[in-house]
Amino acid sequence: MMSHEVGILRVHRARRRLLFVPSAFLVAVSCSCLIGCQKTQQTSFEYSEKANSKEDNQLSDTQKPPLQQGRMDGYYGIWFTLGQYQMQYGDKYSGGLGTYTAKHRPLAYYAPEANKTFFVYGGTLPGKRHLLAMVSYYDHETGMVPKPMIVHDKRGVTDPHDNPSICLDDKGYVWVFVSGRGRGRPGFKYRSTEPYSIEEFDLIAEQEFTYPQPVFIKGRGFLHCFTKYTAGRELYWETSPDGIQWSEDQKLAGFGGHYQFTEPCGDRVATAFNWHPGGSVDKRTNIYFVQTDDFGQTWKNAAGEALQMPLDAADNLALVRNFAAEKRLVYIKDLRFDHDGSPVILHVVSQGSEPGPQNGLRMWSTARWVDNAWHFRDITTSDHNYDTGSLYIEPDGTWKVIAPTEPGPQPFGTGGEVTVWTSNDKGDTWHKVRDVTRNSPMNHGYVRRAVNAHPDFYGFWADGNPFEFSESRLYFTNKNGDKVWRLPINMTRDVQKPEPVAFK
């Protein structure tokens, strides 16, 4: 029985585009009006140069006029710093975080019926730190992108933990799950009013969730894995046949805190997660794996052994490896399935949470379930815990990692230069085959994989300076990693081609 019967909140607006006046960032918008309103009221407001001051960020949502759904004149990624600085090596993580976090998934989704890759990111106003949940698409037929659409204005929030994720249902409707944060900032579920369209979105629900990871299973509906801060970062799931009526939130795991990574494989849905001893994310360790083949009715480990949910102790049947006993930290990056249907977990192993060389190089590795056991293989190293990329298992059997594994212009900062690593023996050995970026002015980070990735839009990421406030641009590469495009800013037409980038 469904517990959340959520009505659709239709947002009407005058069809006006967002206009940015560079001198004052004057934004023309339309106030929202609920169903039954007789008219749409128009208003405009000006963002002052102190819009990102501490005092301004403390204003409540009701004190801030929100930007309404509408087009922006370019692609601007959010810049963020956590505020946990570690001397000369900067913050624990910072920089251009428009495609952050790795726990917001998926961020891109290729729809062959429309021949478009739809994607979301954390956007902002030019020169500002003002989080906007953005959606757009790349049209593979024309090679163009439209002006991106604001789905939700976070009203003064600067934190990309509130970034969106995306999902498409079997009718082609585009769903945007805008993350909340903690127990104070709610999450939002939006659905496009038309299939394969980003012109307008209905607000479906407002509820507590962070790190949204929606999966749509044909013939079943949505299985949504997410986090709630009920006793630290605890893991939950919910289901829905249509996205409108949702089940009760059901707890998956809660024994200190966790970060999870959800991935479908046919009718199966699996999630891999770590453990935060004592609730401290700076002590994250261990890897666990659970899966369901009956839409969340029952859960099993990789060996098929039944699990009693929620998991409430660190020593349980879902444990993949006890890194805590090895005194090592684990940062999970991705979860995939090989052609045999066996799970593969991409992760980074570290000696400590602080940035900088004192904790040594971070090891990129895979954990693969084969012959009734987990097998671990190393790939390469990088210089930061939050260097983040994606794992691809391709139809010809090639395994590929696209990630910022080379040091960037801001060494020991989040991100670096993007590379391609491949394996032709199911992850046993790896070789770097290409530098995707090089001699960049700023670090690149959080390379994200699209669902059903099209060869022309294979990895999607942002750049930025992790050591000081900077602009952040958005990029994508093709399957080979030998071409890179930058999404345009200052768009003068409704649709434009992305800018080819030549790295020398």
Tokens of 175: 């769903």
**306 pLDDT exceeds 90?**
yes
When mean pLDDT is compared across 30-34, 187-191, 258-262, 323-327, the lowest value belongs to: 30-34
Domain 70-501: CATH architecture, name and number where available: 7 Propeller (2.130)
**5 pLDDT exceeds 90?**
no
Select the highest-mean-pLDDT range: 36-50, 175-189, 430-444. Answer: 430-444
Strands (E), 49-200: 70-71, 79-81, 94-96, 108-111, 116-123, 132-139, 145-146, 149-153, 164-168, 174-178, 187-192
Dist. CA 413–CA 415, nearest whole Å: 6
At residue 433, the pLDDT reads 98
- Indicate whether this model's pTM tops 0.85: yes
Largest Cα–Cα separation, the chain = 65
In this prediction, residues 316-330 reach a mean pLDDT of: 98
**67 pLDDT exceeds 80?**
no
Residue whose entry in the numeric block shows the structure tokens 């710093």: 81
At residue 73, the pLDDT reads 96
**68 pLDDT exceeds 70?**
yes
Q: Tell me the pLDDT tens digit for each residue of 207-246.
A: 999 999 999 999 999 999 999 999 999 999 999 999 999 9
Q: What is the percent of the chain where pLDDT is above 70?
A: 87
The DSSP 8-state label assigned to residue 85 in this structure reads B
**400 pLDDT exceeds 50?**
yes
At residue 251, the pLDDT reads 98
CB 156 within 8 A of CB 57: yes
Q: Tell me the pLDDT tens digit for each residue of 367-387.
A: 999 999 999 999 999 999 999
Dist. CA 446–CA 341, nearest whole Å: 26
Residue whose entry in the numeric block shows the structure tokens 């995306």: 166
Distance of CA 443 to the CA centre of its chain: 18
HSE-up (13 A, CA, CB side) for residue 4: 21
The chain-wide mean pLDDT, for the chain, equals 88
In this prediction, residues 301-308 reach a mean pLDDT of: 98
The DSSP 8-state label assigned to residue 156 in this structure reads T
- Domain ranges in the chain are 70-501
Q: Tell me the pLDDT tens digit for each residue of 288-298.
A: 999 999 999 99
Tokens of 72: 């922006």
Q: Tell me the pLDDT tens digit for each residue of 423-469.
A: 999 999 999 999 999 999 999 999 999 999 999 999 999 999 999 99
Tokens of 1: 């029985």
At residue 395, the pLDDT reads 96
In this prediction, residues 150-162 reach a mean pLDDT of: 94
Strands (E), 219-342: 221-228, 234-240, 245-246, 250-253, 260-265, 268-275, 285-292, 299-300, 306-307, 319-321, 329-337
